[in-house]
Amino acid sequence: MSYTKEDIRRIAQEQNVRFIRLQFTDLLGTIKNVEIPVSQLEKALDNKMMFDGSSIEGYVRIEESDMYLYPDLDTWVVFPWVTQDRVARLICDIYMPDGTPFAGDPRGILKRALKEAEDLGYSAMNVGPEPEFFLFKTDERGEPTTELNDQGGYFDLAPMDMGENCRREIVLTLEEMGFEIEASHHEVAPGQHEIDFKYADAIKAADQIQTFKLVVKTVAREHGLHASFMPKPLFGVNGSGMHCHQSLFKGDTNVFYDEKDKLGLSATARHYMAGILLHARAMAAITNPTINSYKRLVPGYEAPCYVAWSASNRSPMIRIPASRGLSTRVEVRNPDPAANPYLALAVMLRAGLDGIQNKLPLPAPTDRNIYIMTEEERQDAGIPSLPLDLKEALDEMLRSDIICEALGDHALAHFYELKEIEWDMYRTQVHQWERDQYLTLY
């Protein structure tokens, strides 16, 4: 929906809104907010709310800390889980004191990528995300455990699926907040779930992913559960992905569709996919941004670890869903829900546009199960693997001019620094597996 300032003032009064959260996202994808009383709403609507950017991960130094929150009026929503002294939300863009957009704002980075697409004649990038999550039990103090709330499997029902009631309440809450939910179901792993919501333009889709995570965690807590979007919380079962279905439009025309093509794919779609495949290894640090992300990207657990595509086979990184016409789209399967959605969509779009601009040739599809191919067979077929760990992904990112440009100097430098620290902490830590393996052996 579109809102005016007057709409927001009226709804706030009618629904007894007492507080407004001005939300934004830091470089690592964490939602941040400044909560203001409704008496300060007018100031917020006039873009006059200031905050200290030096305290936000990946933003600015202490000597240049003043930043401004510019609310996007169309993101106005009243949270349904508070009935008295109600709380509303506005998602904000970040601006500098001189009125220029902050170069390190993830939402602004995605807007820059979309402007590049617009300059090439594409009016919209539509995205349908599929973030998966686990539900864990909490202990007597309300702290999360690693004990799952059920032992269900794919599409199971209660009593095997003990998360059914929680998932249903999540769906109802999301619908009350304006989401159009298409399906919800138990996923493959015990305790794992998926809720699919309708595609939207890229900015709205990224906003919805952040809102979705907040709702899932809030409702789960009310059920005595902890919802985790960690990519691989448990060994020996599938991890959680965030497949991103995407397509480009010119007006009302889906430029990925060509009815004359055997697969219904236009030359634009093929060049776009070629760009995604070419830059896949360099994008991985953004689409799979944690140490843990690479525990998911291993053979045997339905997560793609090889850079290839297919119209049907689910082992490659890119799959083409069966729908055609306006629904023709590319499903990129390697991103995970730990990714900052604004940055992930920005780098995927920029990679795809590079493929279009340079008319990159699309490799032949891989219709065999890549997991059972030998390394020699994969090499002969020209199928590289995604990075094996975060360090390799970071090194690949720095080698790509396209991905570095998509992020911009500010975000690139700060993201790399934060992830280098994360890698070094992991690398130097002594883990329980090492003690179990070596303590008595040596």
Which of 42, 46, 52, 401 is flagged as catalytic? Answer: 52
Structural tokens at position 214? 């907040």
Which of 296, 319, 333, 414 is flagged as catalytic? Answer: 333
Q: Would residue 422 show up in a list of annotated catalytic residues for this protein?
A: no
Which of 26, 105, 130, 354 is flagged as catalytic? Answer: 130
Q: Would residue 331 show up in a list of annotated catalytic residues for this protein?
A: yes
The amino acid at 45: L
Q: Would residue 396 show up in a list of annotated catalytic residues for this protein?
A: no
Q: Would residue 140 show up in a list of annotated catalytic residues for this protein?
A: no
Which of 193, 243, 281, 414 is flagged as catalytic? Answer: 243
Which of 132, 164, 354, 396 is flagged as catalytic? Answer: 132
Q: Would residue 132 show up in a list of annotated catalytic residues for this protein?
A: yes
Structural tokens at position 401? 């001019």
Show the CA angle centred on residue 341, arms to residues 29 and 269, nearest 5°.
Answer: 160
With CA atoms as reference, report the closest residue to 244 among 205, 214, 272.
205
Summarize the chain as % helix, strand, coil (round to 5): 40, 20, 40
Buried b / exposed e along 321-354 (16+ C-beta atoms within 10 A): eeebeebbbbbbbbbbbbbbbbbbbbbbbbbbbb
- What are the helix (H) ranges across 202-339? 202-222, 267-278, 280-287, 293-296
The amino acid at 207: D
Which of 194, 207, 258, 354 is flagged as catalytic? Answer: 194
Which of 72, 116, 331, 405 is flagged as catalytic? Answer: 331
Rounded to whole angstroms, how far apart are CA atoms 77 and 80?
9
Q: Identify the sign of the CA torsion 117, 120, 124, 128.
A: negative
Which of 10, 168, 314, 435 is flagged as catalytic? Answer: 314
Q: Would residue 221 show up in a list of annotated catalytic residues for this protein?
A: no
Which of 105, 150, 187, 354 is flagged as catalytic? Answer: 187
Q: Would residue 130 show up in a list of annotated catalytic residues for this protein?
A: yes
Which residues, including other chains, have CB under 8 Å from residue 93's CB and lie 6 or more apart? 24, 69, 70, 72, 101, 105, 107, 108, 111
Tell me the catalytic residues. 52, 130, 132, 187, 194, 243, 314, 331, 333
